[in-house]
Chain A
Amino acid sequence: MATTLPLNPGSKPLPPPQRSTPQSSKSTPQQQPQSGGLRVPSNRKTIYDRNINRTRTAELSRASFAYLFGEMVSYAQKRVTGIQDLERRLNEQGYPIGLRLTPLLLHRLSTPTAPQPRPTRILPLLQFIANPLWRHLFARPADAIESSATNPKEYMITDNEPLVNQYISVPKEMSQLNCAAFVAGVIEGVVCGVLGGQGVGLAAQLYGGENPDQPRDPPAVVSAHNAGEEGGMWPGKTVFLIKFSDDVMKRESNK
Chain B
Amino acid sequence: MTPFQQDLVSRNVPSFEAHIVVLELSSYQEDVNFYIPTSPSSLTSPPRVVHSLIIINKAGGLVYNRSFSSHLNTISVNDLLVLAGTFHGVHAITKSLTPSSLFIPSNQRTGIEVLDSSSFRLNCFQTFTGTKFLLFTEPGQPNVETIVRKVYELYADYVMKNPFYQLEMPIRCEQFERGLVSYMRAK
A-to-B contact residues, CB < 8 Å: 63, 66-67, 69-71, 73-74, 77, 167-172, 174, 179, 235
The stretch from B92-100, B121-129, B140-148, B159-167 touching chain A is B159-167
Q: Are A167 and B157 in contact (CB under 8 A)?
A: yes
Number of cross-chain contacts by CB at 8 Å:
40
Closest to A69 in B: B163
- Find chain A residues with CB under 8 A from B175 CB: 167-169
Known contacts A167-B158, A169-B158, A169-B173; A74 and B178 CB within 8 A of each other? no
| Among B157, B162, B165: residue with most chain A CB under 10 A | B162
Residues in B with CB closer than 8 Å to A63 are 161
A43 to B163, CA, bound (A): 37
A21 to chain B, nearest CB (A): 57
Majority secondary structure, A binding face = helix
How far apart sit A74 and B160, CA to CA, in the bound complex (Å)?
A: 13
Q: Which of B135-187 contact A (CB under 8 A)?
A: 157-158, 161-165, 172-176, 178
Given contacts A167-B158, A172-B172, A174-B164, 10 further A-B contacts (CB under 8 A): A66-B161, A70-B162, A73-B164, A74-B163, A167-B161, A167-B162, A168-B164, A169-B164, A171-B164, A179-B163
Q: A168, B163: Cβ atoms under 8 Å?
A: yes
User: Are A235 and B161 neighbours in the complex by a CB distance under 8 Å?
Assistant: no
Contact B178 A168, beta carbon cutoff 8 Å: no
Contact in complex: A70, B161 (CB < 8 Å): yes
Are A71 and B164 interface neighbours, CB within 8 A? Answer: no
A-B complex: 6 closest residue pairs judged by Cβ atoms: A167-B161, A169-B173, A70-B163, A73-B163, A169-B174, A66-B161
Q: Which of B157, B161, B165, B176 has the most CB of A within 10 A?
A: B161
For B176, list chain A residues within 8 Å (CB).
169
A171 to B174, CA, bound (A): 8
The answer for the CA separation of A67 and B174 in the assembled complex, in Å, is 18
Q: Could you list some 15 contacts between A and B, CB below 8 A?
A: A67-B161, A70-B161, A71-B163, A73-B163, A167-B158, A167-B175, A168-B175, A169-B164, A169-B165, A169-B175, A170-B164, A170-B174, A172-B172, A174-B164, A179-B163
> A170 to chain B: which residues have CB within 8 Å?
164, 174
Please give the distance in Å from B151's CB to the nearest CB on chain A. Answer: 16
Chain A residues near B174: list those with CB within 8 A.
169-170
Given contacts A167-B157, A169-B173, A171-B172, whether A235 and B164 have CB atoms under 8 Å apart is no
Q: Contacts of A77 on B, CB cut-off 8 Å?
A: 163
Q: How far is the CB of B53 from chain A (nearest CB, A)?
A: 17
Which residue of the partner chain A has the closest CB to B165? A169
What residues of chain A lie closer than 8 Å to B158, measured between beta carbons? 167, 169
* B173: chain A residues within 8 A (beta carbon): 169
Residues of the A chain whose Cβ atoms lie less than 8 Å from the Cβ of B157: 66, 167
Question: In the complex, what distance in Å separates the CA atom of A74 from the CA atom of B165?
Answer: 10
The CA of A183 and the CA of B174, in the complex, are separated in Å by 22
Q: How far is the CB of B69 from chain A (nearest CB, A)?
A: 21
Q: Name B175's closest neighbour in chain A (CB-CB).
A: A169
Report the separation of the CA atoms of residues A31 and B176 in the bound assembly, to the nearest whole angstrom.
56
Measured CA separation A235–B173 after assembly (Å): 14
Q: How far is the CA of A77 from the CA of B165 in the complex (A)?
A: 13
> Closest Cβ of chain B: how far from A61's Cβ, in Å?
12
How far apart are the CA atoms of A174 and B175 in the complex, in Å?
15
- Which residue on B lies nearest to A167, using beta carbons? B161
Q: Which residue of A lies closest to B174 (CB)?
A: A169
Residues in chain B near residue A74, CB distance under 8 A = 163
Report the Cα distance A63→B174, complex, angstroms: 19
Q: Bound state CA distance, A66 and B159, in angstroms?
A: 12
- Using CB atoms, name the residue of chain B closest to A73: B163
- Report the bound CA distance from A168 to B162 in whole Å: 5
